Amino acid sequence: MHQPPIPHVASADPEIAELIEGEARRQFEKIRLIPSENYVSVAVLEAAGTVLTNKYSEGYADRRYYEGQQFIDPIEKLAVARAQAVFGVDHANVQPYSGSPANLAVYLAFLQPGETVMGMALPMGGHLTHGWPVSATGKWFRSVQYGVRADTGRVDLDEVRELALRERPKVIFCGGTAIPRTIDFPAFAEIAAEAGAVLVADIAHIAGLIAGGTHPSPVGHAAVITTTTHKTLRGPRGAMIMSTAEHAKAVDKAVFPGLQGGPHNHTTAGIAVALHEAAQPEFRSYAHQVVANAKALAAALLERGYSLVSGGTDNHLILIDLSPQGIAGKPAAKALDRAGLEVNYNTVPFDPRKPFDPSGIRIGTPSITTRGLTQEHMPRIAAWMDEAIIAAVKDDEPSIDRVAGEIRELLTGFPMAGWA
């Protein structure tokens, strides 16, 4: 059953309660490999489900537009102080509702409509909010995009510099949503300084790895840092903007009153709990295990003949081009889901297929590491993935069902926060 129990939901709305219980069981029974997903602790679940959701708190601590903030202000102050301590930043704003609004606040703080922003192209591993044309950030601002080299799958920083000096963007984003390699923050900082741009590091995917010391930090290189609070950080669905003291006022004004009203106080409490957990020695061990698992899984997939973008991974994420297997990403992802392996279909650099039917899949190890799986399990996971993909090509549904059963059996030995 769901943990904490939800008897009041079951009594008031059994239909919703049944769906929640079903989702909890699904998360328990599947090998969850989507790199942007994770399991939060029961403590985070409890904090995010409290009466804090009842309270409006427009403004910032000690500067609110509503009375009754005697307990809300200390909660937000704790979250801010913990973010500052975990990441070593001058300033932190914990109010953004999610990663995309946090990035949009950056535009409001540093750009006027029509001015130039530079980011990694979405098909190359960037994010929608880094100026991609279908996003508001690409519609309202002039966007220039950099990519990766076809031969290495890695960012060509010489090309980035040439583009930045030619286009003179006001803001440069580094980071993205499908980058399996270490981000060279010092090199991006040098380019931004030479081009006269504000460097923004979007660390949504790697925040937990940075907190745990397994990926270099952008602090001291990027003036502004945005991140979600879930993914590798194992917090609730929220976001933060961190910055140097110089940009604190601009960032805060952009979030409120620029884009948002009252913060979600229950989420702020969950973020505070997650940051407290991230400051513990156990979290450092977790972050190192995430990377060790990803490297082991990548090696096992390479042994089975899979084509990995950039040839492997430095972090939690692996991007796979399934063209050699004779199957597109979308049908492969759906077959893997039926087999108990949760992934997402994804474009790969220079993908000849359309984004909604791309050539690749994206996987990662944050969730399975939280469950307690280690390097020794990665060859078995790679084998299950291979079996399911081969079965999908052959339309062999019994093999897919068999794999799902084997996975359920394995996972009974690995507890999950949120399911008892």
Enzyme catalytic residues:
56, 58, 202, 228, 231, 237
The two tokens of residue 35 are 């790199």
H/E element holding 405? helix 397-411
Is 381:297 a contact under the CB 8 Å cutoff? Answer: yes
Alpha-carbon gap, residue 196 to 115, rounded angstroms: 14
Say if strands 341-342 and 31-32 run parallel, antiparallel, or are unpaired. parallel
The two tokens of residue 64 are 């609110």
Q: Roughly what angle, to the nearest 10 degrees, separates helices 185-195 and 157-167?
A: 20
Query: What are the CA-CA distances from residue 229 to residues 20, 38, 55, 135, 381 (Å)?
Result: 22, 11, 21, 22, 27
Spatial CA neighbour of 339 closest among 409, 408, 400: 400
- Which residues partner with 144 through β-bridges? 118
Is 3:25 a contact under the CB 8 Å cutoff? Answer: no
The two tokens of residue 141 are 């601002």
Q: How many residues does the chain have?
A: 420
Spatial CA neighbour of 42 closest among 368, 417, 420, 419: 417
Question: What burial class does residue 191 get, using C-beta atoms within 10 Å of its C-beta: 0-12 exposed, 13-18 middle, 19+ buried?
Answer: buried
Is 130:120 a contact under the CB 8 Å cutoff? Answer: yes
* Residue 30 CB contacts under 8 Å (≥ 6 apart), including other chains: 337, 340, 341, 342, 407, 411
